[in-house]
Amino acid sequence: MGEPFVGSAVVRSGVLTRHALRTRYRAVYPDVFIRRDEVLTASSRAKACWLWTDRRGVLAGHSASALHGAGWVDPARNAEIIHDNRHSPPGVAVWSSDISDDEICLIDGMRATTPARTALDLACRYPTGHAVASIDALCRATELKPSEVLELAERYKGRRAIRQVKAAIDLVDAGAQSPKETWLRLLLIRAGLPRPSTQILVHNGDFVPLAYIDMGWEDVMVGVEYDGDQHRSDRRQYVKDIKRLEMLEGLGWLIVRVVAEDHPDDIIRRVHEALALRRA
């Protein structure tokens, strides 16, 4: 049994003895267990939380995002669920919230908020930068359109923090492939730079892909890329990236490369200089 399960139910059915349950499995939440050697993911944590509610809750927020297939959900963060039992165990965030039937869907038999409602909740409950990164991933996984979230927001005009929704949704871009790419994009926008396009296709003239640039401005051929740790830890990737950069520069692109150690002010300065050089 690699998935979370209700311990008392399997003991009653005779599948496991109490001794086997206690020695071979660990409790995620009260009476909800998982195999001791099983790595708990955001999705399996969500399922464990749903089982804790006796299958009555509606998974929401990051838990719903994980079930919808969104990336970047930290498996260690609290599961989030709409439920009427406010006495939640550690590791569960219970939300009390109005929800309509058309804002609920079934995923592997579990009730969860729809992508639009999930995005709405994330935008209302979290700081804009965090919410945008989460909704970027949700849109990428589900093909959710920002307009769907704004339409749903009209239903909740009196909800606390509803004004945050438009601000977050206006910044969403499903082209982001990591939270750091979202962070970088928002940094540039907040610095007053023109909004960059994401996942810019570089092709050979016949639209055969040669590369995709994280973000940038195609009209002046300035690109900005975030280099993750794999560029330093993986020698083959490092060599591949050098050749890729040479190819892009040979085609006329000016690429600003960003790493985790770069100061935000320095990033903004370098991008300003690159754009000014091309527009001179």
Q: Which of 122, 150, 169 is a domain's end point?
A: 169
Read off the pLDDT band of 1 (50, 70, 90): low
Give the domain extent around 272. 179-279
The mean pLDDT value of the chain amounts to 94
pLDDT, position 206? 76
Assess whether 241 and 141 both reside in one domain.
no
How far, in Å, CA of 126 to CA of 22, rounded?
37
Q: What is the pTM of this model?
A: 0.92
Count the domains in the chain. Answer: 3
Residues 185-228: tens digit of each pLDDT: 999 999 999 999 999 999 877 778 889 999 999 999 999 999 97
Assess whether 33 and 106 both reside in one domain.
no
Instruction: Calculate the CA dihedral of residues 70, 59, 135, 76 and round it to 10 degrees.
Output: -60
In a domain, 75, yes or no: yes
How far, in Å, CA of 63 to CA of 56, rounded?
15
Assess whether 26 and 45 both reside in one domain.
no
Residues 219-261: tens digit of each pLDDT: 999 999 999 766 566 667 667 778 889 899 999 999 999 999 9
Note whether 115 and 142 are within 8 A (CB): yes
* Pair of tokens at residue 224: 């900005």
Assess whether 165 and 212 both reside in one domain.
no
What whole-number percentage of the chain has pLDDT above 90? 85
In a domain, 186, yes or no: yes
**Is a pLDDT exceeding 60 seen at residue 33?**
yes
3-class SS at 71?
Answer: coil
pLDDT, position 204? 78
pLDDT, position 280? 80
3-class SS at 212?
Answer: strand
In a domain, 193, yes or no: yes
What whole-number percentage of the chain has pLDDT above 70? 96
H or E segment and range at residue 226: strand 222-226
In a domain, 174, yes or no: no
Assess whether 114 and 157 both reside in one domain.
yes
**Amino acid code (one letter) for 130:** H
Give the Cβ contact number of residue 180 at 10 Å: 18
